[in-house]
Structure 1
Amino acid sequence: MIDFVEGKVEYIDAEYVVLSASGVGYRVFTPNPYAFVQDEGKVRRLFTHHHVREDAIHLYGFATRDERDLYRRLLDVSGIGPKGALSIMGVATPEQLVLAIQQENLAYLTKFPGIGKKTAQRMILDLKDKLQGFTPSMVIPSASYVAPPERSGLDEALEALAALGYSDSEVVKIKHGLIEKAKDGATTEQLIKHGLALLMRG
């Protein structure tokens, strides 16, 4: 079992980053690879989930152990595989995801890639009790968590980029590029990744 990989960020792909450690390049799949663009050439530690199947061995990496542990909780839900869980964590923050499950917010959960009503219900049934007290900073005592109104994938992508700390002026500059991608049928996750790539290029 590989608990973490610490090494220099050699290069970044749309789905993974490559960390160089002791002469070995580790391909680590992450929720938002372009979030590490500013770390290229620097040493980073990613906490990993080591997934083995008959035809492949994959490493899924996260910036913190809490994120990695939440990812593993998602894998316990029937119908959610390694890539599906990674897509969910690429769209929502851990805080948003934990709150939605604890508040039984089906409207929010069914907006994630590949998550229908039945899978969302299983997420709530399987994880609600297990997430009680899961990282104190994530558990916000709110009596009224309101689901966001129905929005397009483009709107959700723009909101996600703003939540990552980018200013309105920065997001406006890349909006046209995202609109063109949205017209081609890009999903919310794809739009977020494309937006991050455009922003990192300046």
Structure 2
Amino acid sequence: MIAYIKGTLSTIQEDAVIVDVQGVGYEIVCANPFLFQSELNNEITINTYHYVREDTQVLYGFKNEDEKYLFTKLISVSGIGPKGALAVLGSVDVTGFVEAIEREDDKFLTSFPGVGKKTARQIILDLKGKLTSMVSVSGEQEIVDTSNPKTSDSISEAQEALKSLGYTEREIKAVVPQLQSENNSNTDEIIRKALALLMKN
């Protein structure tokens, strides 16, 4: 297996980066290649997963080991392939995703492209309890009860409002875990909090 690639970041494409290693260009498919924009033409080390099947070989790249580990776990779930796993990684931080699995939040999981209710339940069944070591906060603190329907509805309303303001789905999903941790059912307050978080990002 190819665990990482170290070389000069020569090109950033829509879905991949190319790293030059002593004259050989390695194409590495990433969830969001533009995260590496600041490293263009510099030496870089990218964690990689070498995906091999009878009809294809692809190098997938990640910003850190946590992303890579989550990717390997996701593709082990029935119904999720590499593209689906990358879509998840490109839309949420690792901590937020792990917390969603631990609290069995299938509504949150089905918000990702290609993840239906059946697949969301399979993710929870296969991965619950197996990823908690990736989350820095511990035990009871990390699992927030968002079963309150008022809170869920308010967050959904806030997401729609943010979309109407021109924010992308990816930007909105990045702040949803923090909004859920507030456990606030006031839509206006959730929107104000979300806007403050989006301004920081």
TM-score, structure 1 length as denominator? 0.74
| SS class of match (1:18) | strand
- 1:162–1:128: structure 2 CA closer, same or farther, 3 Å change rule? closer
Q: CA RMSD in A?
A: 2.7
TM alignment of 1:122-201, pairs within 5 A: 122-137=122-137, 140-145=141-146, 147=152, 148-149=155-156, 151-152=159-160, 154-159=167-172, 168=199
Q: Distance in 2 between matches of 1:106 and 1:54?
A: 33
Q: Which moved more, 1:153-162 or 1:112-121?
A: 153-162
Aligned length: 169
CA distance in 1, matches of 2:10, 2:20: 6
Check whether the contact 1:18–1:28 (CA below 8 A) recurs between aligned residues: yes
Q: SS where residue 131 of structure 2 aligns? A: coil
Is 1:2 the counterpart of 2:2? The answer is yes
**How far apart are 1:89 and its partner, in Å?**
0.4
Distance 1:137 1:22, change over 3 A: farther
* 1:128 Cα deviation after fit: 0.2
Q: Does the residue aligned with 1:57 lie in a helix, a strand or coil?
A: strand
Query: Cα–Cα, structure 1 residues 135 and 141, in superposed 2: closer, same or farther, change >3 Å?
Result: closer
- Equivalences for residues 13-52 of structure 1 within 5 A: 13-52=13-52
Alpha-carbon displacement from aligned partner over 1:138-165 (angstroms, at most 9, x marks no partner):
87524424654253565533435789xx
2:53 corresponds to which residue? 53
Q: How far 1:135 sits from its partner (Å)?
A: 4.4
d(CA) in 2 for partners of 1:10, 1:76: 32
Matched with 2:97 is 97
Q: What is the alpha-carbon distance in structure 2 between the residues aligned to residue 92 and residue 49 of structure 1?
A: 19
Cα distance in 1 for residues equivalent to 2:198 and 2:125: 38
Structure 1 gaps, min length 5: 172-202
Where 1:11 maps in the other structure, the secondary structure is: strand
Give the corresponding residue for 1:183: none
Contact preservation (8 Å) 1:30, 1:86: yes
Q: Which residue of 2 aligns with 1:192?
A: none
Which sections of structure 2, spanning at least 5 residues, go unmatched?
A: 177-196
> 2:40 and 2:58 mapped to 1: Cα distance?
21
**Distance in 2 between residues matched to 1:109 and 1:128, nearest whole Å:** 13
Distance 1:138 1:156 in 2: 29
Larger RCO of the pair (alpha carbons < 8 Å, separation 6+): 1
| TM-score normalised by structure 2 residue count | 0.74
Paired residue secondary structure (2:59): strand
Counterpart Cα distance in 2 of 1:81 and 1:73: 11
